[in-house]
A and B are shown apart, each in its own frame.
Chain A
Amino acid sequence: MINSDSLALLKTGDKTLFSILVRDHHRALIALATPIVGTSEAEEVVQIAWGKAYNAIAAFEGKSQIRTWLSRIVINEAKMQLRARKKETLFSDLGSTDSDSDLLEDRFSQNGHWETPPANWHYDSPEALLMGDDLAKCLERILTAMPSNQRAILEMRDSSELPFKEICNNLSISASNARVLLHRARAHLFKLVDHYQETGEC
């Protein structure tokens, strides 16, 4: 992690510090680019974005998280790639909210109250909740299986921490659609963690 002392040094173009950024954020940025440009292009997009980020690092003001700042560069680069390939929309199922039902629905009884309430989760730190080798594989599988519009919103909002409005603009979808998609994506994760916490497997 980069703290405020090392930020000044990072902004001078220090390559050792920059390589720490790459280590911490590269996989997240690939995951961000994947639902936009597809698996095969994502790595190249992120590679180019890193070059641009390195050249622009002196302009990073620390007003947002560095992950958010890097994410904007990746999204811009991804959009440029799409334009170059003359693809207009990011994904075919863009605003569609009907490809997947509400995952937590079966946890409620007919009167709308919990029938199967959430398990009581145990974890050592906020970061630890989604870590762990067993969970990582299931997480990867669930993210890959998610409709790409859900995944894009989840990555942009909860991993890259972009403002909600900016995401709607980026994807040209309404706030209400975005909210439904985000809700479903989070329900996927919630169900995974809940099951893992209760049974120790996923």
Chain B
Amino acid sequence: MLKCREVVNEADQFLSYDLSRSRQWRFKFHLLMCKHCARYIRQFQALKNATPFMHPKASDKEVTRVMDSIDDQAPSL
């Protein structure tokens, strides 16, 4: 059986089907047997899905500054 440490280190390759077929299978087998790793993989995926939203929205002031600089530009058309 794979070690949990290996599962954690290769999680990304597993989720993008980048492992060899036999290793992919051993990985799946491990996840069936080990609830900690199954949880790790589930939460690792959730974290990846959340990362594009980790930066807060810009303030009104920031938006205005950008839009003003666009207004100041000479039109390229």
Contact = CB atoms under 8 A, between A and B. Distances in A.
B54 A190 contact: no
A36 to B, nearest CB: 16
A136 B8 CA distance: 25
Interface in B18-67: 34, 36-37, 39-40, 43-44, 46-58, 62-63, 65-67
B73 A26 contact: no
Nearest to A46: B66
A131 B53 contact: yes
A10 to B, nearest CB: 14
Given A51-B70, A114-B4, A126-B49, A183 B12 contact: yes
Interface of A is mostly: helix
Q: How large is the interface on B (under 10, 10 to 19, 20 to 34, 35 or more residues)?
A: 35 or more
Interface in A1-51: 15, 18-19, 22-24, 26-28, 31, 47, 50-51
Contacts of B51: 130, 154, 158-159, 189
Interface in A141-173: 154, 158-161
Contacts of B9: 183
Contacts of B49: 126, 129
Nearest to A15: B67
Given A117-B36, A158-B51, A183-B9, A23 B57 contact: yes
Contact of B39 (A118, A130, A179): A118
5 nearest A-B pairs in the assembled complex, by CB-CB distance? A112-B3, A117-B36, A129-B50, A158-B51, A26-B58
Interface of B: 3-6, 8-9, 12, 34, 36-37, 39-40, 43-44, 46-58, 62-63, 65-67, 69-70, 73, 76-77
